[in-house]
Chains A and B, each alone.
Chain A
Amino acid sequence: MKTYKQPSSVGRFGEFGGMYVSETLMPLLLNLDKSYKKIQKDKKFKKELNDLFKNYVGRPSSLHYAKNLSQYINGPKVYFKRDELNHTGAHKINNCLGQILLAKKMGKTRIIAETGAGQHGVATATVCALFGLPCYIYMGSKDIERQKPNVFRMKLLGATIIPVESGSKSLKDAMNEALRDWIKNVRDTFYIIGSTAGPHPYPKMVRDFQSVIGKEAREQILKVEKKLPDFLIACVGGGSNAMGLFYPFLNDKKVKIIGVEAAGIGAKTEETAATMTSGTPGILHGSYSYVLQDNDGQIKEAHSISAGLDYPGVGPEHSYLKDIKRVKYFGITDKEALEAFQTCSRLEGIIPALEPSHALAYLIKAFKNKHKNKVVILNLCGRGDKDLFTAARAIGIDADE
């Protein structure tokens, strides 16, 4: 069996990935790559990060046997990797802590980030508060409207929110603006990218920081089940929570891995965010990967009820894993995700975010009355508090402020 060893030294996952940015950013990325390589060997850095994981985030996150949901599906034993229990309510904090420690080591004094659902924005604002660095968050005005609780949280944490009015006014455009900010302020600024997207070394770096999820899950499942899981399931927008869970299992060929994308109204409609189901390879935000684009290579607007998955691109490693068929990707519609959101809340007493609700919906749909005696780990990467108003509106309940 060949061991999985991606990306290459220049950030290629097979043919995907790379660094497609202007010459103003190239020297910065190369420098970032160098600094990242250096701290990977730094024991003090590792210890600092592990301490923060343990005492600030509350890691390891638990592995919960979702007994009621398992009974309801009448299929496999389902375990939730509960990264929604982390400080700030999602997996995003894992990566932010890693990157801000790196920023500190590099002597950067100003932090910028993009956010869609606001989870990455909140996590970035949180670590900036902790380390006393000024924080600027780019957020599409459409997302500011639909993620009000997170906007308030970020402000409370001392971050400045910069509304983005260009394009579709969501995650993709926020990332464009953050990149432009970085080009303008190259000398003092560190850009904390929240997903496994963007130019090298981000996809690798974010995956590495998030892979604590999979490492823990692996140990935990071996302890309770005395064997590796048969399936892993996670939702994929840019793909950071999924890569975090999947990465430590990629060499275990018996573990089947499933990524669930947001299909919006339907993967075959124009209103979708299912990049790998409906897209083609192209270049967005500095990396070569699947994207939603027209015949001229113009990037299309994505659509999903979940702001965190509302992105027309996907991390290059996912594109690679799709093409080598190591991971299978499926689309779940807004409607299916909303149903799973409610089912999980009622059955397990856990209100999931709309993002992992997509993964839950796929599990319920595809595993019903199947795969008995098998074990599944699903990454519950975020909690649903931020989505209450969106969900209430979609379900037709008046939950107004």
Chain B
Amino acid sequence: MQMNNLDTLPKKKILSLFMTCGFPTLNYSKKIFNEMLSHQPDIIEFGLPFSDPMADGPIIQEANKLALRSKLSTQHSLDLIKYLSKSKKNTSFVIMCYLNTVRKFGLNKFIKNIKSIVDGIIIVDLPFEEEGAIKKSLSKNNIHLIKLISPMTDKKRSQKLLKNSKGFIYYISATGITGSNKLDYKEINKNVKFIKKMSSVPVLVGFGIKSKKDVIDISKKTNADGVIIGSALIQKYFDLKMDFNKYLKSLKKFIKEVNV
């Protein structure tokens, strides 16, 4: 069986970058992902646009909307990922999406499209109670189903959730939607420590990480193995009044900064 990049993640300071596929258009999106890939982050998360991204904040919602407005289909996104995988080295590819996208595309067809290209998948609205058949098919094809844990997940539930976990654990740092602000390092540290007791895979902290300072603080003040940055990468596009060239430059600068 082919290797899964997620199984050889570094021990510390893992960087995962999230970006919505097809944002702001398919052609621009290629350039964005190429730029991201050139920095060789440990993980790139590919967001598949969905019309009703319930767990996402306004910035990723807007990115979804722009991508869908340019008539982006699921097949377009998967083709984009395939195209990028040609220049992929050690970076792990992870898809982040909502269940309806996978269901409607067809689970088997979906897996066929991403097999040996994608290392992991996060299905935001698929709790472990419902994952049965999907997890089985994915693991048969060496794709890890990544688990999310929130501050609301209690110990008993965490134990069930973490059993046989693969790839990494996505710890939601704030009870909130993507792009929320407050980071409570004390709470993060307490919960990450607990997760690490029960699981040997790396724990990455996501939601609300916006700057180099946040990245360093997470690494200094908590036991987490790395961070996930998403909304902050997209936000810059709107800050720069949708000037794409300026955006690409600022993206380069920002990724260099956080890639510590």
B140 on the A face (CB < 8 A): no
A13 to B147, CA, bound (A): 26
Contact A297 to B55, CB < 8 A, known contacts A23-B149, A24-B152, A24-B175: no
A398: chain B residues at CB < 8 Å are none
- Interface 9-mer from B32-40, B85-93, B99-107, B227-235: B99-107
Nearest chain-B residue to A295 (Cβ)? B104
A52 on the B face (CB < 8 A): no
Could you tell me if A186 and B74 are in contact, using CB atoms closer than 8 angstroms?
A: no
Nearest chain-A residue to B97 (Cβ)? A297
Could you tell me if A167 and B125 are in contact, using CB atoms closer than 8 angstroms?
A: no
Picked from B55, B61, B65, B100, the residue with its CB within 8 Å of the CB of A24 is B55
Min CB–CB distance A112 → chain B (angstroms):
14
A26 on the B face (CB < 8 A): yes
Contact A23 to B68, CB < 8 A, known contacts A166-B61, A283-B125: no
Could you tell me if A20 and B176 are in contact, using CB atoms closer than 8 angstroms?
A: no
A residues contacting the other copy or chain, number (CB 8 A): 33
Contact A298 to B150, CB < 8 A, known contacts A20-B130, A184-B176: no
Nearest chain-A residue to B76 (Cβ)? A296
B242: chain A residues at CB < 8 Å are none
Chain A positions within 8 Å of B, measured between CB atoms, are 10, 18-24, 26-28, 30, 166-167, 172, 176, 179-180, 183-184, 186-187, 282-286, 293, 295-299
Nearest chain-A residue to B149 (Cβ)? A23
Could you tell me if A27 and B153 are in contact, using CB atoms closer than 8 angstroms?
A: yes
B126 on the A face (CB < 8 A): yes
Min CB–CB distance B236 → chain A (angstroms):
21
B residues contacting the other copy or chain, number (CB 8 A): 38
Contact A285 to B104, CB < 8 A, known contacts A20-B99, A21-B125: no
Q: Output the residue of A20, A282, A284 with the most chain B CB within 10 A.
A: A20
A20: chain B residues at CB < 8 Å are 99, 125-127, 130
Picked from B55, B61, B154, the residue with its CB within 8 Å of the CB of A27 is B154
A187 to B175, CA, bound (A): 9
Could you tell me if B157 and A22 are in contact, using CB atoms closer than 8 angstroms?
A: no
Instruction: Kindly identify, within residues 38 to 57 of chain B, every residue whose CB is under 8 Å from any CB belonging to chain A.
Output: 50-52, 54-55, 57
Contact A298 to B51, CB < 8 A, known contacts A18-B130, A23-B127: yes
A22 to B129, CA, bound (A): 12
